[in-house]
């Protein structure tokens, strides 16, 4: 089976398992500029053409206010390949890294972005918000929560918020990151480099390095951890 077919199969299984996409759904797709979110956008537009149900995709990008923004280049790329994209210009990243919030800039920035995504989803009439998290992201979040928050919880492929007013869906939850990178390479999907100053020093990066060392020792660890996480609480 080709890589594209494997990815389509994995995405289709996640969509089916969690009833992610139903007929007439309006879906906001959070675009970050990274390979994951752009791969998700590519896959959803491809699914849109052959799916047995009709759904609409609304790409949205939230610029965090850092210098050397790639927002214009990203907008041009999306316009060329997929059509219109909603561009939001904020100072969330700059504020999260200011003197007022030195302790945990990633947490605050993420919270502000998510809050704005919910607001935009309501404006656009979207009940569902699709994010490009993959299997590795979900496993890493489990360990980040355990190590740094003292709780057993992670994000799940499908999660409801505000009494089912919104649902966050992660169609690539069953796909490993290296497969997404390979898919992007073969599909000529670019990556816009993250300009966040915490990008190379985050807790996620430290956890990822730890896990990669374990994966090299035993190829079954990743699958075992992912299976076990079906027993933990929502984040």
Which pLDDT tens digit goes with each residue over 116-174? Answer: 999 999 999 999 999 999 999 999 999 988 888 888 888 899 999 999 999 999 999 99
Closest CA to 121 of 69, 166, 55: 166
Overall domain count for the chain = 1
Is the Cβ–Cβ distance between 130 and 36 less than 8 Å?
Answer: no
Burial 11-23 (b: 16+ CB within 10 A, else e): bbebbeebebbee
| Residue ranges making up the domain that contains 21 | 3-234
Least confident of 91-95, 144-148, 187-191, 228-232: 228-232
Kindly provide the b/e burial profile for residues 143-160, where b requires at least 16 CB atoms within 10 angstroms of the residue's own CB: bbbeeeeeeebbbbbbee
What does pTM read for this prediction? 0.92
In the chain, what percentage of residues exceed pLDDT 90?
Answer: 74
Whole-angstrom CA distances from 102 to 96, 113, 116 are: 8, 18, 22
Residue 83: how many CA atoms within 13 Å on its side-chain side?
7
How far is the C-alpha of 144 from the C-alpha of 205, rounded, in Å? 10
Distances (CA, A) of 196 to 63, 92, 148, 228: 11, 11, 21, 32
CATH number (domain holding residue 229): 3.40.50.620
């Amino acid at each position: 089976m080709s890589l594209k077919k494997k990815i389509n199969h994995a995405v289709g299984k996640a969509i089916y398992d969690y009833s992610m996409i139903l007929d007439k759904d309006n879906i906001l797709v959070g675009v970050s500029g990274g390979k994951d979110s752009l791969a998700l956008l590519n896959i959803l537009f491809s699914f849109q053409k052959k799916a047995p149900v009709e759904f609409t995709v609304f790409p949205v990008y939230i610029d965090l206010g850092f210098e050397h923004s790639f927002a214009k280049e990203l907008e041009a790329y999306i316009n060329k390949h997929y059509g219109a994209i909603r561009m939001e210009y904020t100072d969330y990243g700059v504020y999260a890294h200011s003197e007022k919030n030195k302790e945990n800039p990633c947490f605050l920035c993420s919270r502000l972005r998510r809050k704005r995504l919910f607001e935009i989803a309501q404006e656009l009439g979207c009940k569902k918000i699709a994010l490009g998290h993959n299997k590795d992201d979900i496993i890493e979040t489990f360990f980040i929560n355990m190590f740094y928050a003292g709780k057993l919880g992670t994000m799940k492929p499908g999660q409801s918020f505000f009494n089912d007013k919104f649902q966050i869906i992660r169609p690539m939850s069953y796909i490993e990151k290296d497969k997404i990178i390979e898919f992007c390479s073969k599909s000529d999907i670019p990556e816009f480099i993250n300009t966040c100053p915490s990008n190379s020093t985050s807790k996620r990066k430290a956890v990822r390095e730890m896990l990669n060392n374990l994966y090299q020792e035993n190829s079954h660890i990743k699958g075992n951890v992912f299976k076990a996480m079906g027993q933990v609480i929502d984040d």
